[in-house]
Structure 1
């Protein structure tokens, strides 16, 4: 297939940090005109169920930040709209806002607001829209402990058509604000207790909390969480923290008898004295659940992929990628008859975003790369979605004309990916 002039121009723009010949050697990759303004960061995607995607991001405004969104269809992005804006927000490269679309059609968004003077003293704040972003409810918080400690790294699951399940890291036991250390570190917070993992369900009227549970009393302090709904109920994956600092991933499931006890996903046996800030990703399609995560036992980095055929009860390893070079920051998206994985890697001493497609037997169908990413925190956590035409779409924090802003690229349709809409319900 001969690329169009528009595609050729888009490829050249996206790969501005590499040569034109290298850009043309890549598969068809189109950089889209980003709706995000100068200084934007922290992108995230939410599927609408008709293969359109909602992109959210943070953008600086006078005296604060705004959480904005734009809908992506085949022709590109629509106008940028504002969910909320304010002063004193916690704007971070790793703990980012997001949006979740419930099966009934309502949207739920969250962002983070400082609760005290310590660096990591902040709360999760949420709002709901019943008209696809035209208006939003009054903000609420899923936690009510009242402590000036860390609350964040949110993931969602659909508790019902109009009830949202929220999972977050909760630092109410860490005593950070009372430690007097300024809150500059994690993993102890000045001698307080451990970070916990909690979940709550919020109803369909005003996001009133109706149920809350402690899922794990000791977890890693600043890694993303991942939540989905399988055929048998919600599944949550997160990075745990043993007393001797083994920080492997664990699984909890909601069953007819309540939430299960944590079970280790895989025995990586990665002992590390501080949080790696590198959480998992997960998707589900009926009883089939796929998980990807970063690990580095014995100093050897890698990204691992595992699949469950029974709603997360048992996971079987299916692939290991980026051995010796992976930086992690994984994401997953459902795609036709399988799923797509993205992660940040290193190549030729620079950052590379790699993408790979899998079927549900764990067989890799294709692999692609996007060059020119910053290998450090500046690129944030690239996010992945599947748009119209079954085309993978990625967003990351990059630079354009020397200015930081969210950038977005769209790949051509991949093998094994019929144009079949996927309903929302996982994150």
Structure 2
């Protein structure tokens, strides 16, 4: 019988795995690299009770012959396919451009990805350097001498062996692919959220001598986006700390894994609560639907009567979330099957709306009822009227307050 791992490796022959622990650690390489950049870190972690997985992104490493498109979305699809096929919690370890992929995958699988280690990270929105700055990066493909020069400049702690290894890896990548890879990390994800939708713990590892992922870049455009983040700085390390100081990096990853394992276990249905929170960021009806029981009931202070059924509630929540200009969940409390979420939002050009949402779940963790309370009254009435304009014909205009 074919195992899940054999099926995954059939889909991506570059996927390699060692160990068989209770947690999977999946490594994602960065720009101009391949999975072999993690060799020394993986060796240091070999004795840990974890499953260690690596793969090459399309256009690099053993997949250097793969045709395009070469995009963050494609890379996230490939990695998400692996994560979805695993039968254990996953910690993603990624570097540079790979950190963008890691965040995208973590958002897609909040129930599976329990943590992320981001080395020398790039902002999800991209660096947006001017063309005169990124132009030389576009010309690196097929230019061994130029690649070595860039590696030496960015890798403050690279020795000659490390320089040789990284240059050899990068030299395998076709020039036309390199151009697209530069666009990946420079342009990033359009309309990237100010606050990351990934809510699990994040460890950021930065090289003190890295002139690219600098302290300023990380502190202003990366760290503040995550809710549960810790940063470590390695002295005398540059942009490739996993190659420059693999033992130190492995030690930090090992400590991070221990911290996660010692954290309180996830409560039943907690993933669906997080799915509800993430859905407000995506404003997607389908994302709301993943958390709902088929016969879910929605009550709200902005509606005169309840809405029942998964599809109806999905439509209402998607429309409601699109009215908010901003929404932040500020407090969360769990009491048996009920989760209480306190939130603060703005709409209608900055009008403040505060509220409390009560989610009730069944034994499987699916949401069977949701009660949403808005305040103050003026904001609630205006919200009700706007919601009626958007979905009143489909859901019944009498359910909503009218200004007419």
TM-score, normalised on structure 2?
Answer: 0.25
Higher relative contact order (CA 8 A, sep 6+): 1
TM-score, normalised on structure 1?
Answer: 0.24
Structure 1 or 2: more strand by fraction = 1
Larger Rg computed on CA atoms: 2
